[in-house]
Homo-oligomer: A and B are copies of this chain.
Amino acid sequence: MNFGSDTTAPAHPLVLEALARVNSGAEPSYGDDSGAVRVRALLARTFETDDFDFWLVASGTAANALALSCFCPPHASILCHHEAHIQMDERGAPEFFTGGGRLHLLPGEGAKIDFKAFKDYLDYFDPQFVHATPPAAVSLTNLTECGMSYTPDEIARFAQRARAASLAVHLDGARLGNALVRTGASPAEMTWKAGVDVLSLGLTKTGAMGCEIIVLFGKARERFQELRIRAKRAGHMPAKMRYLSAQAEAMLDGGIWLELAAHANRKAGELAVVFADRGLELAWPVEGNEVFVFLPEYDENILKEDGARFYAWPGGSSRFVCSWATTDADIAALRAALSQLKRR
């Protein structure tokens, strides 16, 4: 009954099998392993293009910060939602990797950037004014920190306005699989076809051990050598990269990552029903694998004593996250625990 985070789940067994499969013989280090070739082929199939470069890293913070640092110089800023993960939960990694770049925060419901606020800011900003810090990139998160999803059309709208202002478009896809399943969009539609330049493709929350993929699309590939340099410099070019490749391969092959995301989404849907049956209000619509519910009338502590794991969220709701490992029994146990609670 652990709904604390999809990061508390183990890796999917296929990932461990993949590790074992590559665990023999010598392999070139630092990204030149034969597995990297297979990952490339799988990414090409997944994104329906060959016009990309990629790099594997072991954490989402590394993926986001490295990706952004290739597009935001020290004297510029990255536009993002004021609740974005890069703002709230990465201890200033973007500032560190960019060498002093800035996050410029924008408002919006459900942690989706309000398009008008975005547009107004770009309309207002004079990039020639040397005293102020101009935007160089925009970072969208899909799923958002409130579990909501952008559609490809919404992404494209931001990307179009961004491009007109010479901004790079970054997509933090720590839970991209969940957003794809929800919207029915293909990976290509949600990314380069919508105008995304650089993607942080998260596989860890989806089911890997620790594997995220930075993908540069189209013209953004010009930054690939810089990306490798920055990865090396930041300690994100580990010697035995075959084990990162193996994780990526296991997740992408046959679209396993989307199956796992679909499972997590389904469980979140079931959780929403559990809450609805108790008459509890959700803070945001469930558009992925996260459920934000107001538990004001119940005793959260008793729920936790019963073994439920979840987090209080800014705004007064409680966050419940499902993963590939969430079972029917987990849902049933929460239903049972809730049913025994008395209203305060």
Contact = CB atoms under 8 A, between A and B. Distances in A.
B10 A25 contact: yes
A216 to B, nearest CB: 16
A240 B75 contact: no
A111 interface: no
A58 interface: yes
A297 to B, nearest CB: 23
A26 B11 contact: no
Given A11-B23, A24-B10, A133 B239 contact: no
A230 interface: yes
Interface string A114-158: 000000000000000011110000000000000000000000000
Nearest to A99: B99
A53 interface: no
Given A26-B2, A91-B229, A59 B96 contact: no
B91 A133 contact: yes
A211 to B, nearest CB: 10
Interface residues of A, number: 74
A324 to B, nearest CB: 12
Contacts of A252: none
A88 to B, nearest CB: 6
A237 interface: yes
A210 B239 contact: yes
Interface of A: 2, 4-5, 7-11, 13, 16, 19-20, 22-30, 57-63, 65-66, 74-77, 88-93, 95-96, 98-103, 105, 130-133, 204-205, 209-210, 225, 228-230, 232-240, 242-243, 309, 325
Given A30-B131, A65-B235, A74-B96, 12 more contacts: A10-B27, A57-B235, A58-B58, A59-B236, A61-B237, A75-B229, A88-B132, A96-B234, A205-B239, A210-B240, A210-B243, A234-B234
